[in-house]
Structure 1
Amino acid sequence: MAANRKLLAVAVVCAAAVIGVTGCSSDSGDKDPFDGMSADKIADKASKASKDAGSYTMNGQMKQGGQTSDIEFAVAKSGDCKGTMGSAKSGKAEFLSVGEFQYSKGDDKFWDAKGGGSTAELLKGRWVKQPNQSGKPICNPDDMFSNKNLKNLKREDDAEVDGKKAAVLTRTKKDETTTFYVAMEGKPYFLKVVNKGKDGPGTVTFKDYGKAVEVKAPPADQVVDPKKLGSTS
């Protein structure tokens, strides 16, 4: 999966994504805080600033397998995170990543798609617990905002994201174009990423950088070990 696309995919499954930067505060007013910088250097600054913020929220939409899913995540400085994803057609689910484990709780449509009606009935109102493959929080900011693949970008005309002025950077690879919006006022955080192409098109917006996010594991009596599903169904 291409790095620029990975950022969107991570938002959906709370896996590792794509951006990186060296933090700084920009000047206010009409002055261009990135005057004389290459697009790659701007992206590098955005990556470090976003990573250094520690916590943030992101939301948007992504299309996979012909279906569009709404996504929303809040990420803590520790790398723990919580969020929701899904659609009216495929069902919706809540997700938590706490320490070495991740938890998911879906509605009937979500579990029907995963394992049929018996699974949906067994898991109604309960969380499924699984270990993280990496053994660490899957929303780790070092992974989420890695800048190693943000290369060969081009700066376009500036734009606005939710009323905030943003530098617009694009990357085109074959039939896929990814557009990154970087704040021009205050710290150069990533404000939005838009991916257009055949594989994983979607849009994610970022906000609330640096605001505390609390993520707790669900109560033990609401958690199901997937290894026990076969014996209890």
Structure 2
Amino acid sequence: MAANRKLLAVAVACAAAVIGMTGCSSDGDKDPFDGMSADKIAEKASKASKDAGSYRMKGQMKQKGEVSDIEFAVAESGDCKGTMGSAKMGKAEFLSSGEFSYSKGDDKFWEAQGGGATAELLKGRWVKRPNKGGKAVCNPDNMFSNKNLKKLKREDDAEVAGQKAAVLTRTKKDETTTFYVAMEGKPYFLKVVNKGTDGPGTVTFQDYGKAVDVKAPPADQVVDPKKLAAGS
């Protein structure tokens, strides 16, 4: 059952792997990043995205030939909730509230993890596990860390969902990561695309700064991990 308990961590790690800020406004066609290096633009995007506190993310990841859809919302506190799944492995919900994280999968998901008996035991219920160090799993400081945003190159500008974006690329061996940074309003990350790795994917971000409500599931819907370990 170790895989089940790590669901949220896997979801967050997938998003963070694809990825790797002060306000800024645009006046008409004027380039708000004129004269800035690509690394400096990424630094501003990192700070702005972290400072927003809350956001929503949606994307796809490909691992070992299997495409997984992932979507989650992150609150300013670092609490978060979302879904993750694929046609082959099934779909699961996850959430992190306070010091604990929870996961709940459909029958296909639990059968893939532990067989029919496990699927029956966990049907419609959540598995609870403590967060490492009692810390929030979806900490924006970790998600939008700029420690790997170095040696970037600025490409031609593009649009993401109708928003003009500065395009920055990072190439390392056979891996290329492309970052799209908003050129109007605050310089948030709008999209990140990763190609040429074992886990390529695309994620988009929206609703920065909008409230996200995350609540732990009712106690009667939560399975005691000790029972799982005992096989009951």
Q: Same fold (TM over 0.5)?
A: yes
Task: Mark the runs of 5 or more structure 1 residues left unpaired by the alignment.
Answer: 1-8
| Separation (CA, whole Å) in 1 of partners of 2:184 and 2:92 | 35
Could you tell me how far 1:231 is from its partner in structure 2? 3.6
Question: What's the C-alpha RMSD, in Å, of the aligned pairs?
Answer: 1.8
Matched, 1:84 2:110: no
Q: In structure 2, how many angstroms separate the alpha carbons of the residues matched to 1:10 and 1:82?
A: 9
Q: Is the 8 A contact 1:181 1:190 kept in 2?
A: yes
1:72 aligns with 2:71: yes
Does structure 1 residue 117 correspond to structure 2 residue 113?
no
Deviation at 1:134, TM superposition (A): 3.6
- State how 1:151-230 maps to structure 2 within 5 Å: 151-230=150-229
* CA deviation string 1:151-186 (max 9, x = no partner): 000000000000000000000000000000000000
| Farther off after superposition, 79-88 or 10-19 | 10-19
Q: Aligned equivalents of 2:194 and 2:133: distance in 1?
A: 26
Give the Cα–Cα distance (whole angstroms) in 1 for the partners of residues 197 and 55 of structure 2. Answer: 28
Question: Structure 1, residues 23-52: CA drift from partner, whole Å, max 9, x if none?
Answer: 112223100000000000000000000000
Deviation at 1:10, TM superposition (A): 8.4
Cα 1:10–1:94 shift into 2, 3 Å: closer
Please state how far the C-alpha of 1:20 moved relative to its aligned partner.
Answer: 9.7
Q: Which shows bigger deviation, 104-113 or 223-232?
A: 223-232
Identity in percent:
83
Query: 1:14 is matched with which residue?
Result: 12
CA distance, structure 1, for counterparts of residue 8 and residue 157 of structure 2:
26
Counterpart of 1:49, as a letter, is A
In 1, distance between residues paired with 2:192 and 2:175? 13
Secondary structure of the residue aligned to 1:36 is coil
TM-score (norm 2): 0.92
1:12/1:209 CA distance change after superposition, 3 Å = farther
The alpha carbon displacement at 1:225 in A equals 1.8
Q: Does the residue aligned with 1:121 lie in a helix, a strand or coil?
A: helix
Cross-structure match for 1:40? 39
Q: Secondary structure at the match of 1:17?
A: helix
Name the CA distance, whole Å, in 2 between partners of 1:10 and 1:218.
Answer: 15
Shift >6 Å, 4+ stretches: none
Give the 3 Å change call, closer, same or farther, for CA 103–10 of structure 1 in structure 2.
Answer: closer
Give the aligned residue type for 1:62.
Answer: M
